[in-house]
Amino acid sequence: MPSPQPAGTPPNMPPRRWVSIHAIEQATPRAIRLRLRGDDLEGFEIPAPGAHVKLILPPPGEVRPAVPLRYEERRAVFEDGVTPPFLRTYTPSRFNPELLELEVELLLHGDGRASNWIRTAKPGDEIIVAGPRGGWTVPQDGDWYLVAADDTAIPAARQVLAELPAKPALVAFEVVDEAERRPVEGAATATWLFRGQDAAKAGKPLDAFVRSLELPPGRGYAWIACEAGAMRRIRRHLIEDRGMTPEQLVTRGYWKLGSPDHPDGDYGQDLPGHPG
């Protein structure tokens, strides 16, 4: 297998590792749990709740992602005639260092390149994992916490919940329907919201939930991750109507309605007057 880090790889690029699919499990009708294994995972760690990796995936018809011949500046150069792979952002859901096994949960959501890839992927297929990066070190001085996530962000929310101190936590998950409900440790009292099959409704139930809340007194922190437009509406509401400050908020657009390959660093910082 060619090195996933060829000549000229910029030193600040996150490490790239070959892995192969050990198992593909149906967590819910729409959520596929991938168990990825490989010696390259030696030393992998999930740095903080909500960190992400890039899955580097082959285009349709290819069995594994092509590796660049070299990098020029930050631009990957591939052999002539080779179709470059594509990258998508996912949460490293769990890592088992004994088995060198990384778990990632991918949603089947309709017509997306990664969503289509997983429909035909099979055990033994090889892909590249880049990262991890990012994540949120959960402040421990909150009097209360708000955690609201749609189905793309449930793996990250699980990690956030595991780091909360023993303080009141308001927790909501938005999924398509009842069949998508799944066990989430530390969230026995979570509210499950159902948006139905229409993707255009994404984030609306979460937005309505947050607006309906009576927030506890004291200093709170909110971690919100969902569709980018809904995230902006919720962020604006928490700042403008509830008086929360950007320092109390982590708001993340995990995907954007009608827009493929939404960038992984969308925190809603662009909202006027509210630098993140």
Ligand X SMILES: Cc1cc2nc3c(=O)[nH]c(=O)nc-3n(C[C@H](O)[C@H](O)[C@H](O)COP(=O)(O)OP(=O)(O)OC[C@H]3O[C@@H](n4cnc5c(N)ncnc54)[C@H](O)[C@@H]3O)c2cc1C
By the criterion CB under 6 A, which residues form the site for ligand X? 52, 88-91, 105-107, 109-110, 112-115, 152, 155, 199, 254-262, 264
C-alpha 6/C-alpha 156 separation (Å) is 31
Q: Which is nearer to ligand X, 201 or 219 (CB)?
A: 201
C-alpha 101/C-alpha 232 separation (Å) is 35
Least distance to ligand X, CB of residue 164, Å: 19
Q: Which is nearer to ligand X, 61 or 217 (CB)?
A: 61
CA distance readout (Å), 145 to 119, 216, 220, 234, 259: 37, 9, 5, 15, 31
Among 23, 117, 128, residue whose Cα is nearest residue 66: 128
Least distance to ligand X, CB of residue 40, Å: 20
Least distance to ligand X, CB of residue 155, Å: 4
Q: Are 46 and 132 in contact, with CB atoms under 8 Å apart?
A: yes
Residue with CB nearest ligand X? 112
Least distance to ligand X, CB of residue 97, Å: 20
C-alpha 122/C-alpha 3 separation (Å) is 22
Least distance to ligand X, CB of residue 256, Å: 6
Q: Are 182 and 253 in contact, with CB atoms under 8 Å apart?
A: no
Q: Which is nearer to ligand X, 110 or 218 (CB)?
A: 110
Least distance to ligand X, CB of residue 33, Å: 10
3-state SS class at 116: helix
β partners of residue 220? 144
Q: Which is nearer to ligand X, 93 or 142 (CB)?
A: 93
Q: Which is nearer to ligand X, 132 or 212 (CB)?
A: 132
Least distance to ligand X, CB of residue 70, Å: 27
Least distance to ligand X, CB of residue 168, Å: 26
Q: How many Cβ atoms sit within 10 Å of the Cβ of residue 188?
A: 8
Q: Which is nearer to ligand X, 65 or 217 (CB)?
A: 65
Q: Are 50 and 125 in contact, with CB atoms under 8 Å apart?
A: no
Q: How many Cβ atoms sit within 10 Å of the Cβ of residue 18?
A: 21
C-alpha 136/C-alpha 150 separation (Å) is 17
β partners of residue 170? 146
145: tokens are 């916490």
Q: Which is nearer to ligand X, 83 or 259 (CB)?
A: 259
β partners of residue 106? 32
Q: Which is nearer to ligand X, 94 or 219 (CB)?
A: 94
